[in-house]
Amino acid sequence: MPTHPTPHGERPHARGRLNQPPPDTATDFPTIAAAREAARSCRRCPLWHDATQTVFGEGLDHPEIVFVGEQPGDQEDLAGRPFVGPAGRLLDAVLDDASIDRAKVYVTNAVKHFKFEPRGKRRIHSKPNAGEIRACRWWLEKELALTVPKLVVALGATAAHALLGEVVSVTQLRGQTVYRSDGLRVFVTIHPSFILRLPEEVDKRAERARFLEDMRAVARMMAA
Ligand code: SF4
């Protein structure tokens, strides 16, 4: 299906199935703080059992941009805060380079408990499955209903899946803005952990530069 650039250079995605209404967008919580508190005892899927704690989103209550990652990592699980590990530090650096103030956004994850496999003393990241993404989407939609951002940035495939309600190809949608039927704009890009996992320094540098270009496109959209 073709897409058409908007005056701001965005390309709205026209595939109908991506525009299904998100589930349960109403919120019973008066504030993000109330939702965060309630999520501490969430048992909507089994992931709470082995994780240290719920890692809810944080940032401005009413930001222009919400960034959505996959799930907390080892350091986030222990700290109880999103994007404080290596991927978060890389995100901070790239946002800084793109002149996006991290203090003026809201950052969260599609899934709010750390899923891992124990390997000796280490806890190895394990990708959340579709059922876990669906279960935790309930919280993500509460966050979006409460924060009412102008733009949501999907960092990676799990975030895009949660935000758009189906599995999508980040390779195909990267750099595009998808419009949901509720009017929410979702900009799709990679998760910064993808850059960290690349074995070659030269590839890391190239992918960081591409990611920076994506973040500069986000900054331009906010300035338009
Ligand atoms: S991952 Fe999400 S849905 Fe599952 S228990 Fe944790 S907060 Fe609840």
What would the pLDDT profile of 177-207 be if each residue is shown by its tens digit?
999 999 999 999 999 999 999 999 999 999 9
Please check whether residue 108 is in contact with residue 66, taking contact to mean a CB–CB distance below 8 angstroms. yes
For the segment 151-167, the average pLDDT, to the nearest whole number, is 97
| CA 141 – ligand 1 centroid, Å | 13
Ligand 1 centroid vs 12 CA: distance in angstroms? 31
Predicted local confidence at residue 22, as pLDDT = 44
Per-residue pLDDT tens for 31-54? 999 999 999 999 999 999 999 999
Residue 90 token pair:
């890389």
Atom of ligand 1 nearest to the CA of 115: 1
Domains assigned to the chain: 31-223 (3.40.470.10)
**Interval between CA 205 and ligand 1 midpoint (Å):** 34
Residue 31: what pLDDT?
Answer: 95
Confidence category of residue 11, pLDDT binned at 50, 70, 90: very low
What's the confidence (pLDDT) of residue 193?
Answer: 97
68-81 pLDDT, tens per residue? 999 999 999 999 99
Give 120 Cα–ligand 1 centroid separation in angstroms.
25
Q: Which residue has the higher pLDDT, 182 or 16?
A: 182
Nearest CA to ligand 1 atom 3: 136
Q: Tell me the pLDDT band of 28, cut-offs 50, 70 and 90.
A: confident
The pTM of this model reads: 0.89
pLDDT value of residue 14: 36
Rounded alpha-carbon distances, angstroms, from residue 118 to 85, 105, 114, 115, 196:
19, 33, 12, 10, 21
Report which protein residue has its CA nearest ligand 1's atom 4.
45
Query: Of 14, 3, 109, which Cα lies nearest the Cα of 58?
Result: 109
Q: Is the CB of 56 under 6 A from ligand 1?
A: no
Does the C-beta of 45 come closer than 6 Å to ligand 1?
A: yes
| CB of residue 188 inside a 6 A radius of ligand 1 | no
Measured in Å, residue 128 CA sits from the centre of ligand 1 at 11
| pLDDT of 23 strictly over 50 | no
Read off the amino acid at residue 42: C
Residue 13 has a pLDDT of: 43
Whole-number pLDDT of residue 108: 98
Mutate-to-test residue for ligand 1 from 77, 136, 143, highest number of ligand atoms within 8 A of CB? 136
**Whole-angstrom distance, CA of residue 156 vs CA of residue 23:** 21
Check whether 7 has a pLDDT greater than 80: no
Q: Supply the pLDDT for residue 26.
A: 54
d(CA 31, CA 24): 17
Q: Which ligand 1 atom lies nearest to the CA of residue 45?
A: 4
